[in-house]
């Protein structure tokens, strides 16, 4: 006799997801994100169509990893990947503490065209700090792409060249973006109430 494999029933899944953030209606669906990221990929590929070295995507860990992986596959130009890892130093009197980079790009950026890739620009301090550090490494050009742009608490001006969505003043999770290290695996973007 053939064995019958059983799968969790929809009712079981619904119950399990009931208290879980991300089980409700998404703020931005995976389908919408996919379409927008494809458009961004085309836009970015157009802007860099004539460069004579591969683009260097510098991804800001950890939140931008999922976005960057999709964006990378939407490009029709050659691109390399580098990473930076900002961490908050909880010593300063200021809200989040001082920002330092626990990991800096591994390869040389001298004469290279660099695209900084972030998950969400809020106060602007993270991308601003990273951009200043990257700028000192002698790139031929430096542009910024962010999945989400939330202008409500901007403290420093940030020249964003490419953004996926402008969002209202809500904390978001999913699609790589976390709350206390969790919920990065959610395919949609949700606002956390």
Which positions from 60 through 99 interact with ligand IMP, judged by CB under 6 A? 63
Q: Which of 169, 91, 89 has its CA nearest to residue 129?
A: 89
153: phi then psi, degrees, rounded to nearest 5: -120, 30
Q: Is 81 helix (H, G, I), strand (E, B) or coil?
A: strand
Q: Which of 178, 184, 187, 192 binds Mg ion (CB under 5 A)?
A: 178
Q: Is 189 helix (H, G, I), strand (E, B) or coil?
A: strand
Give which of ligand IMP, Mg ion, none residue 146 binds (C-beta under 5 to 8 Å, depending on kind). Answer: none
Q: Which of 84, 172, 186, 189 binds ligand IMP (CB under 6 A)?
A: 172
- In the complex, minimum distance from the CB of residue 173 to ligand IMP, in angstroms, rounded to a whole number: 6
Which stretch, 13-21, 23-31, 41-49, 171-179, contacts ligand IMP (CB under 6 A)? 171-179
CA angle, 35 as apex, 114 and 26 as ends, to 5°?
Answer: 110
Say how many C-beta atoms besides its own lie within 10 A of residue 164's C-beta: 23
> Distance between CA atoms of 121 and 28, rounded to whole angstroms?
17
Give whichever of 14 and 156 is closer to ligand IMP, judged by the CB atom: 156
Out of 119, 122, 149, 188, which one is annotated catalytic?
122
Give which of ligand IMP, Mg ion, none residue 119 binds (C-beta under 5 to 8 Å, depending on kind). Answer: ligand IMP
CA-to-CA separations, 142 to 56, 108, 111, in angstroms, rounded: 10, 14, 10
Q: What is the DSSP letter of 102?
A: E
31: phi then psi, degrees, rounded to nearest 5: -65, -45
Please report where in the chains the tokens 């009931």 appear, as a residue: 18
Q: Which of 177, 186, 188, 189 binds ligand IMP (CB under 6 A)?
A: 177
Which stretch, 72-80, 99-107, 130-138, 171-179, contacts Mg ion (CB under 5 A)? 171-179
Active site residue 122: yes
**Residue numbers at the binding site for Mg ion (CB under 5 A):** 178
**Residue numbers at the binding site for ligand IMP (CB under 6 A):** 63, 118-126, 171-172, 177-178
Question: What amino acid positions are annotated as catalytic residues?
Answer: 122
């Amino acid at each position: 006799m053939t064995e019958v494999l059983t799968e969790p029933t929809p009712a079981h899944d619904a119950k399990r997801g009931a208290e879980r953030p991300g089980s409700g209606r998404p703020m931005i669906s995976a389908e919408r994100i996919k379409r927008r990221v494809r458009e961004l990929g085309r836009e970015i590929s157009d802007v860099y169509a004539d460069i004579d070295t591969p683009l260097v995507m510098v991804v800001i860990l950890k939140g931008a990893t999922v976005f960057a992986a999709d964006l990378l596959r939407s490009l029709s130009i050659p691109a390399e990947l580098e990473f930076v890892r900002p961490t908050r130093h909880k010593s300063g009197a200021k809200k989040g503490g001082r920002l330092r980079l626990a990991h800096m790009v591994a390869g040389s950026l001298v004469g290279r065209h660099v695209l900084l890739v972030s998950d969400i620009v809020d106060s602007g301090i993270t991308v601003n700090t990273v951009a200043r550090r990257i700028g000192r490494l002698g790139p031929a050009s430096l542009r910024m792409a962010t999945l989400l742009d939330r202008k409500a608490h901007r403290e420093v001006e940030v020249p964003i060249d490419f953004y996926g969505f402008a969002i209202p003043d809500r904390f978001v999770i999913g699609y790589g973006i976390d709350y206390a290290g969790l919920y990065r695996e959610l395919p949609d973007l949700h606002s956390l109430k």
